[in-house]
Structure formats: structure tokens, C-alpha cells
């Protein structure tokens, strides 16, 4: 298992593993190897619908910018049960800009929703980002009707700052 050479952040119930080119390639090409690299069961429902179309994009970013490790995808592995299982994904759209701003997004597989895991995922990567000297704040955008996502952000001290870029979305900021 290669997890020891990867960036890992832990929470009460999760092991968050930063994506790499090797993980991204395995996620696309070899489900068994992907599971072995993560040291976790990968459910048949993986990847979530909202990630399926961007796997290749993130693979390309990992390949072009290995120094961005930690600033792209993270895999959320639930470790508080009989066996570790991949339950969600969280990540940034890239490294901080000149103002120290990064944008976050997250997704939890349907069978793991409603258990507080997204809140824990956001807390874990927010803590990691706070420890990075170049980061000053995290932004997030969610659909105005997505009460669960709004609550995840609020529980993690994100503050509403206005409308989002996309229709029917709101923007949040968490300053360090």
C-alpha cells in the first residue's frame, strides 16, 4: 500500500488521501489497483455522478502539475467500521491564487449521505489548507436549494457572501 508516501489527513472517522497522478490513473484504468493503492474497498457506485466526467481532467492536472498534490482531489475513506471504504471525494480546483484563495468542492456517495461525513471531509481539508502558508481563504459555491451542502459549509464556519457564479447558487468564504 502506497499511502505512506502520500499526503494524508485524518479526522474522527475518515482518512483523507490527496490524489496523485498514480491514483488518478488507477481510478480511471484499474479499479483493483485503485482499491489497493487506497487500502480500501471501492464501492460499485464509485465514482459519484458529478465526478465521472472530470476524472480525465484531474488526471491531466496531476500529470502536468505533480507539485499541486493536495490542491486537487482528495479521497475520503471511512475507517470507523469493519473495513476501510471509499465514501466520497473532496478537493480544490487548484493551488491558491495570488490572494491565497482556493475553491473547494465535495461529494459523498448516496449510501453514505446524511451521516455527517461531508462535514468531516470539509473540516479535514480545511485544516490541511490552513497549515499551508500560501492559503488565506477557501471559497465554495452550492445550489441555493441544497440544504445539506449549505449546512456542511455553515458547520465549518463558512460565511455566505452572495450569489454564486452559476444560476441558483450561493457563494461562501472561510477565512483563516
- 109 within some domain: yes
Residue 118's φ and ψ, nearest 5 degrees, are -65, -40
- 21 within some domain: yes
- 165 within some domain: no
Query: Cα separation of 75 and 143, whole Å?
Result: 23
Three-state DSSP class for residue 94: coil
pLDDT in tens, the chain (176 residues): 344 468 999 999 999 999 999 999 999 999 999 999 999 999 999 998 888 889 999 999 999 999 999 999 999 999 998 999 999 999 999 999 999 999 999 999 999 999 999 999 999 999 999 999 999 999 999 999 999 999 999 999 999 999 999 999 999 999 99
* Number of compact structural domains in the chain: 1
Instruction: Give the model's pLDDT for residue 2.
Output: 41
Amino acid at each position: 500500500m502506497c499511502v505512506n508516501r502520500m499526503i494524508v489527513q485524518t479526522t474522527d472517522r475518515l482518512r483523507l488521501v490527496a490524489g496523485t497522478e498514480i491514483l488518478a490513473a488507477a481510478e480511471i484504468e484499474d479499479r483493483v489497483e485503485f482499491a489497493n493503492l487506497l487500502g480500501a474497498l471501492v464501492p460499485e457506485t464509485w465514482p459519484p455522478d458529478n465526478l465521472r466526467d472530470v476524472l480525465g481532467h484531474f488526471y491531466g492536472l496531476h500529470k502536468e502539475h505533480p507539485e499541486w498534490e493536495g490542491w486537487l482531489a482528495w479521497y475520503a475513506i471511512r475507517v470507523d467500521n469493519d473495513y476501510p471504504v471509499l465514501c466520497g471525494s473532496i478537493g480544490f480546483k487548484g493551488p491558491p491564487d495570488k490572494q491565497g484563495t482556493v475553491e473547494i468542492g465535495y461529494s459523498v456517495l448516496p449510501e453514505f449521505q446524511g451521516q455527517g461525513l461531508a462535514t468531516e471531509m470539509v473540516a479535514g481539508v480545511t485544516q490541511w489548507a490552513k497549515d499551508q502558508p500560501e492559503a488565506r481563504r477557501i471559497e465554495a459555491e452550492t445550489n441555493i436549494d441544497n440544504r445539506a451542502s449549505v449546512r456542511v459549509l455553515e458547520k465549518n464556519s463558512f460565511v455566505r457572501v452572495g450569489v454564486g457564479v452559476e444560476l441558483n447558487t450561493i457563494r461562501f468564504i472561510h477565512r483563516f
